[in-house]
Structure 1
Amino acid sequence: MGKTNIRHLNLPALQEYFGSIEEKPFRAKQVYEWLWLKHATSFAAMTNLSKDLRNKLEEHFTLPAVTVDATQNSADGTIKNRFKLHDGHLVEGVLIPTDTRQTACVSSQVGCSLSCKFCATGYMDRKRNLDFDEIFDEVAWLNKQALESSGKKLTNIVYMGMGEPLLNYRNVLQSIERITSPDGLGMSPKRITVSTAGVSKMIRQLGDDQVKFNLALSLHAANDAKRSEIMPINDTNNLQVLIEALNYFYKCTQNQISFEYILFKDFNDSLKDADELIKIYRQVPADLINIIEYNPISHAKFQKPDEEVADAFMEYLGKHRVNARLRRSRGKDIDAACGQLANKG
């Protein structure tokens, strides 16, 4: 029999374990605090427990904490981390600081199975899902870095790193439960956004589960032919199906919905494309369209549009009363920008 990951036990289960070894019940609370409030990465770190008890925990449980394998600092203040998981797999997480925000961008899978043509992670195989405690670890490390670099805690979390969060549904929701719990990081779910390439069935499930966090749809093309060309998932989750799923999600939760739309030169950057985007925007109660600068990757043929084309696109959206924001890329010099995460180190 393999040892159990201690972080997969809730507080009542821990209390039951301590009762079974005739330890006082308050020890369970102490361990629970070490795991989630103090972010202990080993039993040895739990210094208010006796050495004998720490050894006993070591014998019965594992604590497969995530470690920082490498860190890169961008000229613009962005910090990219390569995180090492207990089985040697690597994922990346990014801290994006601004004057008003400290945003963590976290991964939910090792690699990705969706093969989006513009995304570096899409050219990697999906090795496995991250457990909820591994996702929590990413956030805890990025929060520590935010405090060290700016004296400010994380203000926002986006599940926009490696992987498709809705294909790791249970662990993503459990990680958010831990992050928002008073005995976790205590963050408001309204400051968390989960980004999906468009798994309509799971978008509806989010509505049924009445989640409290925000949802972003990676749209990137506003007609089915173009979207299927760059995002194979569109073949089974087309725009009409996604529009219906997003409306269902909103009806159930009233949570904020946004669109992500990367501009690709001579592909989706014309005023006709803008028109098609506006039509979709009008069919969903979306708060915002994030227009994103494309960040070139070696595998893909796409290019960033000329600045005047991007400006014309934004101006056209504004003229039609669309709430759109041009999101300037951060961390490009260290391959930490949108679509660039691929463990290059």
Structure 2
Amino acid sequence: MKTAKKNIRHLTLDELNSYFETLGEKKFRAKQVYEWLWLKQAQQFEAMTNLSKELRVKLADNFSLPALRVDATQYSADGTVKSRFKTHDGHLVEGVLIPTDDRKTACVSSQIGCSLSCKFCATGYMDRKRNLDFDEIYDEVVLINQQSERVYEKKLSNIVFMGMGEPLLNYRNVLKAIERITSPDGLGMSPRRITVSTAGVAKQIKQLGDDGVRFKLALSLHAANDTKRNEIMPINESNNLQALIEALNYFYKKTENEITFEYILFNNFNDSLKDADELIKICRQVPADLVNIIEYNPIDMATFRKPDEKVVNTFMQYLEKNRVNARLRRSRGKDIDAACGQLANKEGIVG
């Protein structure tokens, strides 16, 4: 039986050094290949033009170089760009470029599908096929950055892990991807410009604190009492609000990194002043910098609706009156199902 070739991007620089030593090649060859893999983002060995043809053939014979590829793209009327990416084993996953005047943000996925079944999210109605490897997540960022440079002539300024999947259930790959994204021999982006969003895995939030991460953390709250949160986010049954409050405080004590709450307003569900009071109560127990109040984006599988503008304004004013730093986040890319909660690999995207 033929053994599968090892993915060359899963080798460290030291391991590449050792490999080239066994070939009797000069040590600097490892550095050259490493630069092709991460700085120059080569997608095939043939592209590594400062290596001899013989060496390129040898690498191709011994290693694989699976790369994420853009399968299809959609352009929104508001400038948002949604891409469907295809993995080496044929899976599809989506990522979004969100442009504003002062920012170009990549919204990236961490899993193919999701296992959390949040009732308001299109991805939650999909099965989780597998985790994305760290190099696949890196590729998402590279490809979205290339789009940003092509369409807007600007590099990405920010990255949010708010696409498909739960990042903290793919903990090792997400952290390794961020390490590559922030490394000088990767994309060199500041970790302060990266936000990881979680539906709330208390144990892993604490682990982030123990690991001393430097990126920002966002908690998808969406309901400020356990009864309502259990109803729309089944993960709350094993990670209740008290456990999450303790985990967030632990994370902040260890890192002092920025924490944000994400709160989607649903009509006649979590949009009353009583709901606002419960949200304020949670905000006073956690050193959160900001509450993002998010406009709900309808999906075919759920019956939720967004509240009237008057209700939204009343909710926002009440938070402001109670000294909560809240910002209303308007949806981008709704016309191409690229907005918050809408990613689901729909067919009909143009190639």
TM-score, normalised to structure 2, is 0.98
Unaligned runs of 5+ in 1: none
1:154-209: per-residue Cα shift (whole Å, max 9, x none)? 11000000000000000000000000000000000000000000000000000111
| Distance in 2, Cα, partners of 1:241 & 1:11 | 40
Tell whether 2:227 aligns with 1:214. Answer: no
Unaligned runs of 5+ in 2: none
What is the aligned partner in structure 1 of residue 291 from structure 2? 289
| Distance in 1, Cα, partners of 2:22 & 2:5 | 17
1:274 CA drift (Å): 0.6
1:107 CA drift (Å): 0.3
Deviates more, 1:47-56 or 1:84-93: 47-56
After TM superposition, the structure 1 = structure 2 runs for residues 1-345 of structure 1, keeping only pairs within 5 Å, are: 1-344=3-346, 345=349
| Distance in 2, Cα, partners of 1:245 & 1:186 | 29
| Distance in 2, Cα, partners of 1:40 & 1:327 | 37
1:294-341: per-residue Cα shift (whole Å, max 9, x none)? 000000010011111101110111111110000000000000000000
| Distance in 2, Cα, partners of 1:73 & 1:10 | 37
- The DSSP-based 3-state class of the residue aligned with 1:283 is coil
| Distance in 1, Cα, partners of 2:315 & 2:41 | 45
| Distance in 2, Cα, partners of 1:218 & 1:99 | 26
| Distance in 1, Cα, partners of 2:77 & 2:42 | 31
Counterpart of 1:296 in structure 2: which amino acid?
P
TM-score, normalised to structure 1, is 0.99
| Distance in 1, Cα, partners of 2:133 & 2:59 | 21
- The DSSP-based 3-state class of the residue aligned with 1:41 is coil
| Distance in 2, Cα, partners of 1:236 & 1:301 | 25
- The DSSP-based 3-state class of the residue aligned with 2:284 is helix
1:19 CA drift (Å): 1.0
1:125-144: per-residue Cα shift (whole Å, max 9, x none)? 00000000000000000111
Percent of pairs identical after alignment?
77
Counterpart of 2:16 in structure 1: which amino acid?
L
1:62-90: per-residue Cα shift (whole Å, max 9, x none)? 00000000000000000000000000001
| Distance in 1, Cα, partners of 2:167 & 2:53 | 39
| Distance in 2, Cα, partners of 1:180 & 1:289 | 26
Counterpart of 1:114 in structure 2: which amino acid?
L
1:24 CA drift (Å): 1.3
| Distance in 2, Cα, partners of 1:50 & 1:2 | 25
Counterpart of 1:339 in structure 2: which amino acid?
G
- The DSSP-based 3-state class of the residue aligned with 2:189 is coil
1:49-73: per-residue Cα shift (whole Å, max 9, x none)? 1111111000000000000000000
| Distance in 2, Cα, partners of 1:36 & 1:115 | 34
- The DSSP-based 3-state class of the residue aligned with 1:81 is strand
Counterpart of 2:217 in structure 1: which amino acid?
L
Aligned length: 345
1:82-133: per-residue Cα shift (whole Å, max 9, x none)? 0000000010000001110010000000000000000000000000000000
- The DSSP-based 3-state class of the residue aligned with 1:114 is coil
| Distance in 2, Cα, partners of 1:3 & 1:55 | 14
- The DSSP-based 3-state class of the residue aligned with 1:145 is helix
| Distance in 2, Cα, partners of 1:332 & 1:7 | 35
- The DSSP-based 3-state class of the residue aligned with 1:304 is coil
| Distance in 1, Cα, partners of 2:164 & 2:303 | 20
| Distance in 2, Cα, partners of 1:187 & 1:308 | 40
1:48 CA drift (Å): 1.4
| Distance in 1, Cα, partners of 2:70 & 2:49 | 23
